[in-house]
Amino acid sequence: MAFTVAIDGPAAAGKGTVSRAVAAHFGFAHLDTGLLYRAVAFRSLAGEDPIAAAQALVAEDLEAEGLRTQAIADEASKVASIPDVRSALVDFQRAFARRSGGAVLDGRDIGTVICPDAEAKLFVTASAEVRARRRWKELVERGIEAVFDEVLAEVKARDARDSSRMTAPLLAAEDAVRIDTSEFSIEEAVAAAVAAIDARL
C-alpha cells in the first residue's frame, strides 16, 4: 500500500519534529526534502554547478556531515529558486512518496507540486517570532552565540525568499490541514498531526 503524507511549512515551525514523530507513529518512511536542497548547496559552495549537482544527486549525499549549518541553509534557499535544480529533484521525491508501506515527505512544495495527490496534507506553521525564538534557543543550547534580533531577521528573510520565488513558492495546498504550532507543545503538535492523518486513513 502506498500512502503519502505531505507536510509543508516555513523554517522552524516544528515541521521536522512533527514529520519524524508522525512517521514513527504510523511506521512510514520519512524524507526531509530540505536535505536535498542542502546537499545541492553543499556541492555548490564547493564550486560545482548547482544544476549539475542536482542532476547527479544520490541518496548517500543526504548523509553528508555539515548540512545543518546556517551557511548551507542560506545557500539552499538560493539554489532552491533555480527551476532546473527543482525539476532535477522531482523524480527522486515522487519515487520516495509512492514506495510501499507509506511515506512522509516534509518541505515547502510537497502538497502543491511534488505530491498534489497525497492522501494527507498538512501545513505546519507558527509566527515568525515563535520560530525565531525556537531557533535561537536551539543555537544557544548547542553553545553557539546568537542574537535574537539577528535570528528573527534571518527567519524573515528566508520566509520572504521562499514565499516570493517564481517556481514552487512556499504555499499551503488548498486541501491541506493547517496546524499553527505557536501555542503548542511538541506533544500537542504531534497529536494534532496524527489526528489529521488518522482522518484520512
Cβ distance 68 to 138 under 8 Å? no
Residue number with CB closer to ligand C5P (62 or 194): 62
Stretch that binds ligand C5P, among 20-28, 106-114, 130-138, 140-148 (CB under 6 A): 106-114
Count, residues near ligand C5P per rule CB under 6 A: 14
User: Going residue by residue from 114 to 153, which x/- string records binding to ligand C5P, judged by CB under 6 A?
Assistant: ----------------------------------------
Residue list 152-191, contact with ligand C5P (CB under 6 A)? 158, 162
Closest of 158, 149, 112, 152 to residue 132, by C-alpha: 152
Is 77 near ligand C5P (CB under 6 A)?
yes
Q: In this structure, what C-alpha cell is assigned to residue 29?
A: 518512511
Residue that is written with C-alpha cell 529558486 in the block: 81
Query: Half-sphere exposure of residue 88, counting CA atoms within 13 Å on the CB side?
Result: 20
Is 38 near ligand C5P (CB under 6 A)?
yes
Give the shortest CB-20-to-ligand C5P separation in angstroms: 13
| CA dist., res. 149 & res. 151, Å (int) | 5
Is 108 near ligand C5P (CB under 6 A)?
yes
Q: Exposure string (b/e) for 66-93, b if CB count within 10 Å is 16 or more? A: ebeeeebbebbbebbbbeebbebbeebb
Site residues (vs ligand C5P, CB under 6 A)? 11, 33-34, 37-38, 73, 76-77, 80, 107-109, 158, 162
